[in-house]
């Protein structure tokens, strides 16, 4: 089960691809030339789709954070994701593989998101310090 599935459809897709991956014998590949939505049915194709779902869910959770209390968590997650030198495991490894293969525009957009969250976090903390100093006078 994907821990961050937001809808029943997400969970159904995840379950479907897991079942395909586990059921289809290794090396078996069914090509569907007249179906642009699904060109191939195989264990490897199912694994790719699972990776996509994990990546989408990871970013959905991380980037939907609008709460200022989650800014620090978002900063830490973005730093982990963007540190491509680390030896990640699990979903983080899948996400980093996705980033390595993504366009430069996408990578820059993640850096911009990190910049936005850092700016918001620092600005709010600075305001808290100013307000608390003003109250103590």
For residue 29, the cross-strand partners are: 42
Q: What is the pLDDT of residue 117?
A: 78
The string of DSSP codes covering 48-94 is HHHHHHHHHHHHHHHHT---GGGHHHHHHHHHHHH-TTS---HHHHH
| Mean predicted lDDT score pLDDT of the chain | 78
Contacts of 118 (CB under 8 A, 6+ apart): 75
Q: What is the pLDDT of residue 6?
A: 58
Average pLDDT over residues 117-121: 80
Q: Is the per-residue pLDDT at 128 higher than 70? A: yes
Confidence of residue 49 (pLDDT cuts 50, 70, 90): confident
pTM comes to 0.61
- 58-109 pLDDT per residue, tens: 877 776 765 555 677 777 777 777 777 767 778 788 888 888 888 888 888 8
């Amino acid at each position: 089960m994907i821990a961050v599935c937001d809808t029943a459809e997400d969970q159904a897709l995840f379950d479907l691809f897991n079942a395909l991956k586990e059921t289809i014998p290794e090396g078996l590949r069914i090509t569907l030339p007249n179906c642009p939505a699904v060109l191939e049915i195989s264990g490897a194709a199912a694994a790719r789709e699972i990776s996509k779902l994990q990546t989408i869910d990871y970013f959905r959770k991380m980037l939907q954070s609008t709460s200022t209390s989650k800014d620090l968590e978002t900063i830490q997650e973005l730093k982990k994701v963007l540190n491509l030198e680390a030896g990640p495991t699990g979903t983080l490894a899948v996400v980093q593989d996705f980033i390595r293969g993504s366009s430069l525009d996408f990578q820059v957009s993640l850096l911009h998101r990190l910049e936005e969250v850092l700016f918001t976090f620092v600005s709010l903390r600075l305001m808290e310090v100013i307000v608390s100093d003003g109250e103590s006078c």
